[in-house]
Amino acid sequence: MLRGFYTAASGMISQQRQQEVLSNNIANENTPGYKADQATLRAFPEMLIRAMGTKKLPVTNGFQVPVNSPVGALNTGVYVQENIPDYKQGDVRETGVTTDLAIVNGDLPDETGSLFFTVQGEDGEALYTRNGNFTVDGQGFLVTNEGNYVLDQAGNQIQTDSMEFTVSGDGMLQTAGQSVPLGITYIANANTLTKEGNGLFSGDADNLPAGVTFGIQQGALEQSNVDSMQTMTEMMESYRMFETNQRVLKAYDESMGKAVNEVGRLG
């Protein structure tokens, strides 16, 4: 019976954590470039149940030997193994703001691959984002709204001097005195990236393989890829599963109460 307590409780905890993931997705529905998280549930390692007994040998003294036979496997609960972002392309919405940029995916060689803007982290390391809601700081550098420098293809900060610049479809940023290629990074397996907050990811970049095509749209932003209707449906399903495990836990509690308070008095 105690095993049932733990199994039902693990189900409640996993559904609560899934609700937290889904709630965070809904909260970021209007965050440009946000990639929805998906919680993956996994059963605890299986336990192999075996029946233990003895077998009497057909000998004069009736000698008995211990035997056991397999009954089957038993799962003892469920847990949230990890949260995996969904890197599929979000809708692109025009804003008319010069500093807003959106990556429009073209042909990618792998379903797990994705393209990102490259920005500079606080420690100088390269970070990646799909949020092209940029601006120009007081020194004339192109930065994110959190103050991270946007980098070019050579890993240098981009000096625009003002908000009067243009970006071509192939990612060339052009000002009055220079032409700089934006730092567009390709990650072959985006699932290896680590979320750093504020729409930033860290990880190892890959060389841009042949055949990868993309476009840069100026004056537009990629929206989050959160499907609000689907997410609300999943939240309701998760809530119902939580309630089901809660009722199971209550039933075990009532059975335990009867075992302690009623069965014990029969003696």
Where would I find the H helices in the chain?
2-27, 228-261
Strand 101-105, strand 214-218: pairing: antiparallel
Low-confidence ranges of the chain (pLDDT < 70): 1, 62, 263-267
Q: Do the domain assignments include residue 212?
A: yes
Q: State whether 210 and 123 are in the same domain.
A: yes
**Alpha carbon separation from 57 to 50, 53, 63, 130 (Å, rounded):** 21, 13, 6, 73
Phi then psi dihedrals of residue 166, to 5 deg: -125, 150
Give a yes or no: residue 208 inside a domain: yes
pLDDT given at position 161: 81
Classified as helix, coil or strand, 191 is helix
Q: Are residues 96 and 218 located together in one domain of the fold?
A: yes
Read off the pTM.
0.78
Instruction: Tell me, yes or no, whether 115 and 215 share the same domain.
Output: yes
Domain count, the chain: 2
In a domain, 265, yes or no: no
Task: Note whether 218 and 236 are same-domain residues.
Answer: no
* CA-closest candidate to residue 120, choices 161, 158, 162: 158
Residue 67 resides in a domain: no
Does residue 263 fall inside a structural domain? no
The answer to whether position 257 is within a domain reads no
Domain that holds residue 33: 2-48+76-83+231-250
Q: Residue-wise over 55-83: b if at least 16 C-beta within 10 A, else e?
A: eeeeeeeeeeeeeeeeeeeeeeebebeeb
Q: Rounded CA gap, 226 and 55, in Å?
A: 62
Q: Are 165 and 207 contained in the same domain? A: yes
**Same-domain check for residues 104 and 211:** yes
**131 and 238 assigned to the same domain:** no
Check whether residue 172 and residue 217 sit in a common domain: yes
- If asked whether residues 144 and 106 sit together in one domain, one would say yes
One domain, residues 99 and 218? yes
- 96 lies in the same domain as 183: yes
pLDDT computed for residue 80 by the predictor? 87
Residues 115 and 216 in one domain: yes
Token digits of residue 104 = 């429009």
pLDDT the model gives residue 1? 54
User: Does the residue 55 lie in any domain?
Assistant: no
